[in-house]
């Protein structure tokens, strides 16, 4: 692995894509700097955003294309913050140029794209990771503590994850299926990553279901609009299963967005607290509590430690491939009308 002899401050970092929601380019550079690394490059096709980057980080090198940056910059690590369907192409371009790469989630849209990126990173001897900062969300940190360490609900056999409400898709690229990957790819990749922390078993097969066409005539994307609702059912080798539903059509509100069911109780995650339900005969008891503090800084702290000290990578590319494989299989399964087997590298 390149750069292990360097200090964190000697790791030059950059972002590809500076604008978009939540000022993500700026936030990534700030977080990488907080982890000890040095912001050195920004690639952005919008000259206004490029000027903003130069103002936010005086002295930083700015480029209008990835090719320009790869030719002129000594940057060691780049984070890709562009629409989902561009991650694989840009990622491969940077990996083949010998750069360490972090992709905003999702890593890519298909299993084949993930596999190509993993292979390219191995050939170049560089790091590949996905920005799964929500791996350290306070609600999943507490859930792992209660469910896996304390065995608060017994043996886990089912997870129900759900996001969304009846709502016309927004007028932006995340509503386009060909660009975003589909309705499951935004919050769905987070919820799957949570679930894979809870169910520690190989994936056996995935079934996908989808309803589409209701909102499409009313959007700019027409037939390319995301599904109205989609469901992925994941079967694991230990006989547990996970249901993931993302909807823009269902009118029925439900409590909680992530429920883990075990042999001795159920753990429900809501945004501000968790509840554990247990039943003994007709008696139902419950326990409520607060989530742990969120620790997003641990992502880039781990990246810096991995690159300079060889610390184990918390979000390895093989780990990031798993939710993408599920989403890929679910989309294909929905079209074919049958479950599809999982394939490991």
Q: Is-same-fold flag (8-131; 136-295+325-341)?
A: no
Query: Pairing state of beta strands 203-211 and 100-104?
Result: unpaired
Confidence band, pLDDT 50/70/90 cuts, at residue 345: low
Residue 344 reports pLDDT greater than 90: no
Greater model confidence, 3 or 208:
208
Fold of 136-295+325-341: Dihydrodipicolinate Reductase; domain 2 (3.30.360)
Whole-number Cα distances in Å, 306 to 36, 41, 62, 122, 127? 13, 21, 27, 15, 9
Q: Domain-by-domain residue ranges, the chain?
A: 8-131, 136-295+325-341
Give the pLDDT confidence score for residue 281 in this predicted structure: 85
Token readout for 56 is 């936010």
- For residue range 247-297, list pLDDT tens digits in order: 999 998 787 899 999 999 999 999 999 999 998 888 989 999 999 999 999
Class of domain 8-131: alpha beta
Mean pLDDT for the chain overall: 95
Confidence band, pLDDT 50/70/90 cuts, at residue 23: confident
């Amino acid at each position: 692995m390149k750069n292990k002899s360097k200090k964190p401050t000697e790791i030059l970092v950059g972002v590809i894509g500076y604008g978009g929601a939540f000022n993500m380019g700026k936030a990534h550079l700030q977080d990488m700097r907080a982890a000890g690394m040095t912001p050195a490059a920004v690639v952005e096709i919008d000259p206004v955003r490029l000027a903003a980057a130069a103002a936010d980080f005086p002295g930083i090198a700015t480029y209008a294309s990835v090719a320009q940056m790869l030719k002129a910059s000594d940057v060691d690590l780049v984070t890709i913050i562009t629409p989902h369907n561009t991650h694989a192409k840009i990622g491969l371009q940077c990996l083949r140029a010998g750069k360490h790469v972090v992709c905003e989630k999702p890593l890519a849209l298909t299993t084949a794209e993930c596999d190509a990126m993993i292979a390219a990173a191995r050939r170049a001897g560089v790091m590949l990771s996905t920005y799964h900062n929500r791996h350290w969300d306070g609600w999943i940190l507490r859930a792992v503590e209660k469910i896996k360490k304390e065995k608060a609900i017994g043996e886990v056999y089912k997870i129900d994850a759900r996001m969304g409400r009846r709502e016309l898709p927004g007028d932006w690229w995340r509503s386009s299926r060909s660009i975003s990957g589909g309705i499951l790819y935004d919050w769905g990749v987070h919820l799957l990553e949570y679930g894979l922390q809870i169910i520690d078993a190989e994936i056996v097969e995935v079934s996908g279901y989808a309803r589409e066409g209701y909102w499409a005539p009313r959007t700019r994307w027409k037939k390319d609009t995301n599904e109205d609702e989609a469901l992925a059912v994941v079967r694991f080798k230990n006989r547990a299963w996970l249901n993931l539903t993302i909807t823009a059509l269902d009118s029925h509100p439900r409590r909680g967005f992530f429920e883990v069911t075990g042999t001795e109780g159920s753990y429900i995650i809501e945004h501000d607290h968790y509840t554990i339900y247990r039943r003994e005969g007709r008696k139902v008891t419950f326990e409520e509590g607060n989530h742990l503090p969120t620790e997003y800084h641990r992502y880039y702290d781990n990246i810096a430690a991995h690159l300079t000290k060889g610390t184990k990578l918390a979000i390895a590319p093989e780990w990031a491939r798993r939710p993408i494989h599920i989403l890929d299989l679910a989309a294909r399964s929905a079209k074919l009308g049958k479950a599809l087997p999982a394939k490991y590298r």
